[in-house]
Amino acid sequence: MFPNASRFRDPKLTEKITRHIKRLAPSYTIKICHVCGTHEWTITHFGLRSLLPQNVDVIAGPGCPVCVIPAAEIDAAVKLALEGVTITCFGDVLRVPGSELSLMDAKARGGDVRVVYGVGNAVRMAKQETNREFVFFAIGFETTAPSTAVEILKKPPSNLSFLITHRLIPPAMELLLGIGDLQIDGFIAPGHVSTIIGTEPYRIFPEAYGMPTVIAGFEPLDVLFAVSMILQQLKEGKPKLENEYKRAVTAEGNVKAQKLMQQAFKTVAAEWRGLGRLPDSGLALREEYEKYDAKKRYDIRTEKARDLLPGCQCHLIMIGKIKPDQCSLFMKECAPESPKGPCMVSVEGTCRIWAKHSGRG
């Protein structure tokens, strides 16, 4: 297999890099922010926080694509499902609460909601069942958007349209830096988003914000090295952009994927659940492909929606302001079997990851 994942988990190297991190750590508290659910999984699953000095804190930013879908988009999908349109979506989306109902509830009420592995499955289903109308719920960051672009540009079957809720990561990182009382001393940038966009979109973080930024992969050693690189930069007082995940991320990224995305989509201001409207942070279909836009096809107007249930702190979880065990509902009223907020639904949600790991990060 590809240079053995186990070599990127080597216990001896882990021990050594952990010792090195301890040596590098300053005496004051450092907060390093990642923006990827898969990074949170690696950190929690391998217990990396417990390997770090107490004053080196790793916090999770808005890196869960399912968590940031506004309730209004879920409401739109629920409405379509109840009106007889077949909704195809990633499994993680099913239980995300809308204002009133989730897609799971819509399914229980007779809606045709089908889980797919990717947009390709939705296209195949639509081709096979020409008597039905299909909508693909297109969520995800830059990692996922290119696959939607591929299918849009290939001219999908006429009975398929798309609910586009793709979001872009760099604007969300920039939002975090604008939150006055949120301490962030360095960014671990998301490796898989970066395979597509390359390294350059992150350059503003060290250059305009003085923020050490390291693009990292998803094995424990990748994350630990990223932490040590950030600490080194802080020590030297020289913030820069570094790429730790060179085996998958190049400076220019996946140029073909970028071109396809640009052909299919334009960048627009977009809502993020609990975070509000961020400029240039979402994708929408270009005019020539608007006929595949489910909102236009079915004349869906985004109505006022309820993003968070009372007591749910997902908006603070998603910016790394608090950790799940600081929410009073965590593992009481809110648990994976009875989620109150999106962060407990998605396998990439911080609350869910902590819950699955005995309530700790």
Partner 1 sequence: MCLAVPAKIVEISGDLAKVDFGSGVLREVNIMLLEEAKKGDYVLVHAGYAIQLLNEEEAEETLRLWKEFLEKVEIVGVDEEEEHEN
Note the residues at the interface with partner 1 (CB under 8 A).
Answer: 1-3, 7-8, 13, 16-17, 19-20, 23, 36-38, 63-66, 90, 92, 117-121, 139-141, 143-144, 146-147, 150, 190, 192-193, 195-196, 221, 225, 244, 246-249, 254-257, 260, 346, 348
3-state SS class at 255: helix
- Between CA 113 and CA 269, with CA 303 as vertex, the angle to 5 degrees is 95
> Which residue number places its CB atom closest to ligand SF4?
341
* Residue of 274, 351, 353, 361 that binds ligand SF4 (CB under 6 A): 351
Q: Which is nearer to partner 1, 9 or 297 (CB)?
A: 9
216 beta partners: 190
Q: List 270's β-bridge partners, or say none.
A: 278
The entry of partner 1, ligand SF4, none near residue 136 (CB within 5 to 8 angstroms by kind) is none
Q: Nearest CA to 200 among 238, 244, 253?
A: 253
Q: Does 71 bind ligand SF4 (CB under 6 A)?
A: no
SS3 330: strand
Q: Per rule CB under 6 A, is residue 344 in the interface with ligand SF4?
A: yes
DSSP string, 199-217: SGGGTHHHHHH---EEEE-
The size of the interface with ligand SF4 (CB under 6 A), counted in residues, is 14
Q: What angle do CA 281, 343, 169 make, to 5 degrees?
A: 20
Scored b (16 or more CB within 10 A) or e, 115-130 reads ebeebeebbebbeeee
* Least separation in angstroms between CB 119 and ligand SF4: 27
Which entry of partner 1, ligand SF4, none binds 341, CB below 5 to 8 A by partner kind?
A: ligand SF4
Reduce the DSSP state of residue 68 to 3 states and report it: coil
Which of residues 23 and 109 has its CB atom nearest to partner 1 in the complex? 23
| Least distance between ligand SF4 and beta carbon 357 (Å) | 14
Taking the least distance from each CB to partner 1, the nearer of 225 and 265 is 225
Going by DSSP bridges, is the β-strand pair 265-272/276-285 parallel, antiparallel, or unpaired?
Answer: antiparallel
Residue 20 interacts, among ligand SF4, partner 1, none and using kind-specific CB cut-offs from 5 to 8 Å, with partner 1
Cβ-based neighbours of 125, under 8 Å, separated by 6 or more: 86, 88, 114, 116, 134
Q: What dihedral angle (degrees, nearest 10) is formed by the CA atoms of 121, 126, 132, 133? A: 90
Cα separation of 256 and 74, whole Å?
A: 31
Min separation Cβ 328 and ligand SF4, Å: 8
Establish if 67 lies at the interface with ligand SF4 (CB under 6 A).
Answer: no
CB 132, min distance to partner 1, A: 21
The residue among 103 and 138 lying less far from ligand SF4, judged by its C-beta, is 103
Identify the burial level of 57 via C-beta atoms within 10 angstroms of its C-beta, where 0-12 means exposed, 13-18 middle and 19 or more buried.
middle
- Least distance in Å: CB of 326 to partner 1? 25
Question: Does residue number 343 form part of the binding site for ligand SF4 (CB under 6 A)?
Answer: yes
Residues in region 116-175 near ligand SF4 by CB under 6 A = none
Shortest distance, position 254 Cβ to partner 1, whole Å: 5
> Footprint of ligand SF4 on residues 280-339 (CB under 6 A)?
312-314, 317, 324, 327, 329-330, 334
How many other C-beta atoms can be found within 10 angstroms of the C-beta atom of residue 257? Answer: 19
Name the binder of 312 from partner 1, ligand SF4, none, CB < 5-8 A by kind. Answer: ligand SF4
- Binding residues for ligand SF4, rule: CB under 6 A, are 312-314, 317, 324, 327, 329-330, 334, 340-341, 343-344, 351
